């Protein structure tokens, strides 16, 4: 059973507007969450992360919000740019028990159109 879920397989947003990508998880032992970005013909690359002791982390145009009570996190991209078009994977780690193994969602394809 999937412990990390991204229920929207795709999202289309106009350039300059906000993109919001959502992720839900079931394992309350997850202590760290990461977002990866993947372009075609390339491997996933790290984008941004958040510890479970925080509720927000910001890096330039990218902000990740964590709602532990709802077991939900979201990635906000403001403003969205055509170069942001990629697949975004949400991942979670439960630290000690599995030596940092990551559990991935199925990804959301973001398309930013001019």
Partner 1 sequence: NAGVTQTPKFRVLKTGQSMTLLCAQDMNHEYMYWYRQDPGMGLRLIHYSVGEGTTAKGEVPDGYNVSRLKKQNFLLGLESAAPSQTSVYFCASSYFNPSMTGEMRGYTFGSGTRLTVV
Binding site for partner 1 (CB under 8 A): 6, 9, 32, 34, 36, 41-46, 49, 51, 89, 91, 93, 95-96, 99-102, 104-107
Residue 98, SS3 per DSSP: helix
Distance in Å, CB of 36 to partner 1, minimum: 7
31 near 97, Cβ under 8 Å? no
Distance in Å, CB of 15 to partner 1, minimum: 26
106 near 25, Cβ under 8 Å? no
Nearer to partner 1, 30 or 84 (CB): 30
Nearer to partner 1, 5 or 76 (CB): 5
Burial class from Cβ neighbours inside 10 Å (0-12, 13-18, 19+) for residue 50 reads buried
Distance in Å, CB of 102 to partner 1, minimum: 6
């Amino acid at each position: 059973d999937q412990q990390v879920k991204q229920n929207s397989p795709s999202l289309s947003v106009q350039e300059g507007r906000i993109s919001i990508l959502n992720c839900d998880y079931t394992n309350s032992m997850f202590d760290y969450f990461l977002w990866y970005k993947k372009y075609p013909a390339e491997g996933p690359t790290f984008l941004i992360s958040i510890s479970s002791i925080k509720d927000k982390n910001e890096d330039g145009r990218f902000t990740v919000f964590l709602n532990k009570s709802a077991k939900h996190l979201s990635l906000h991209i403001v403003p969205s740019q055509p170069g942001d078009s990629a697949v975004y994977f949400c991942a979670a780690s439960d630290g000690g028990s599995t030596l940092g193994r990551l559990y991935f969602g199925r990804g959301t394809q973001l398309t930013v159109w001019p």
